[in-house]
Amino acid sequence: MAGKRVLILGGTTEALESAERLSAAGQITVITSMAGVTRNPRLPAGENRTGGFGGVSGLTAYLDAEDIDAVLDATHPFAAQISRHAGDAGSRAGVPVLHLTRPPWRRRPGDQWYEVDSAVAAAAWLNTATLGDGSTVFLTIGRAEISAFAEIDRLRYVSRSIEPLDFAGAPPFVEAILARGPFSIDDERQLMIDRNIVCLVAKNSGGAASYPKIEAARALELPVLMLTPPATPGGESTSSVDVAVAWVHGTLGISR
Ligand SMILES: NC(=O)c1ccc[n+]([C@@H]2O[C@H](COP(=O)([O-])OP(=O)(O)OC[C@H]3O[C@@H](n4cnc5c(N)ncnc54)[C@H](OP(=O)(O)O)[C@@H]3O)[C@@H](O)[C@H]2O)c1
């Protein structure tokens, strides 16, 4: 049984990659924590646990009880609460925390982005936009915030999410596509053409995996309503998995 113990807060490809690389040498017990919102998540290397900790105090108690030596917060850029909790719980428990962040995408020539700070603001924008009645908007922000668009019923929607939509809170004219990326640019472009999409709503999550839809929208000269990410958490951070892996080894005093 490996002596040193690291907790990875997961839900991203970077968390999977970090778990894979940190488990490889067999010197560290790697535990990846997932929120439990996805029913068949990709399983990380090492151990895993599922479900919330019960706020900062619950996470602090977990770090103590499980004898965790370091925390790697590799959660999604829009998962701001758990990142905040990680920093606070690490301080309380005296456990070092590193946030593995993902730089947001930057606007490129040809992009027609309208930046908004929430799904509610995106819905308000759509409500006043000069989009013809019955036009179809492509929602790629997950299913949790779909209800923000429920009132804007002069538009149609295509919503893509990993987990099924709750139609009770969804807009009346919505086609739900259940799919998990990554998707190719060609497939994204074809989907937008086939569904007569006039506008894409996306989270500026950064990274390569979900970028093809942005490239497809650019190629088709479609406007993108881009949700800006929450502020990056305070404390130590890096955007490199290499640096994060080296930080864990350094923090645990493991030479490689
Ligand atoms: N938000 C997105 O757009 C998005 C996209 C892709 C993947 N994800 C992943 O989905 C998960 C939930 O995202 P969210 O936006 O709902 O997070 P959030 O708003 O930051 O967190 C809400 C609560 O969910 C629990 N939680 C979140 N991540 C957890 C984890 N990795 N392990 C254990 N508990 C966790 C915590 O509950 P307690 O307070 O009870 O500890 C947290 O307070 C994250 O792990 C994130 O990486 C999110």
Each residue of 62-120: pLDDT tens digit?
A: 999 999 999 999 999 999 999 999 999 999 999 999 999 999 999 999 999 999 999 99
| pLDDT at 232 (0 to 100) | 85
| Same structural domain, 126 and 202 | yes
The structural domain count of the chain equals 2
Atom of ligand 1 nearest to the CA of 15: 47
Domain span at 189:
112-227
Total count of residues recorded for the chain:
256
Exposure on the CB side of residue 83, measured as CA atoms within 13 A: 22
Distance CA 10, CA 156 (A): 33
For residue 88, the domain's CATH number is: 3.40.50.720
Distance CA 153, CA 7 (A): 44
In this model, does residue 124 exceed pLDDT 90? yes
| Same structural domain, 16 and 116 | no
pLDDT band at 1 (very low <50, low <70, confident <90, very high): very low
**Token couple for 94:** 């005296």
Nearest CA to ligand 1 atom 25: 52
| pLDDT at 2 (0 to 100) | 55
Chain centroid to CA 213: 15
Mean pLDDT (whole number) for 189-208: 97
Q: Compute, in angstroms, the gap from residue 219 CA to the centroid of ligand 1.
A: 33
Distance CA 5, CA 206 (A): 29
| Same structural domain, 131 and 59 | no
The Cβ of residue 247 has, within 10 Å, a number of other Cβ atoms equal to 18
| Same structural domain, 145 and 131 | yes
Identify the CA nearest to 193 among candidates 173, 222, 172, 214. 222
Is residue 88 within 8 Å of 63, Cβ to Cβ? no
**Residue 210 counted as domain residue:** yes
Atom of ligand 1 nearest to the CA of 53: 41
Ramachandran class of 142: left when φ > 0, alpha when ψ lies in -120 to 50, beta otherwise: left
For residue 149, the domain's CATH number is: 3.40.50.1980
CA Rg value for the chain: 20
Distance CA 67, CA 59 (A): 12
| Same structural domain, 19 and 60 | yes
Q: Compute, in angstroms, the gap from residue 105 CA to the centroid of ligand 1.
A: 21
Nearest CA to ligand 1 atom 36: 52
Task: List pocket residues of ligand 1, CB cut-off 6 Å.
Answer: 9-12, 33-35, 37, 52-55, 58-59, 75-76, 78-82, 85, 142, 203
Q: Compute, in angstroms, the gap from residue 134 CA to the centroid of ligand 1.
A: 34
Share of the chain above pLDDT 90, in %: 89
CA distances from 92 to 101, 112, 194 (A): 22, 44, 53
pTM of the entire predicted model: 0.95
Chain centroid to CA 29: 25
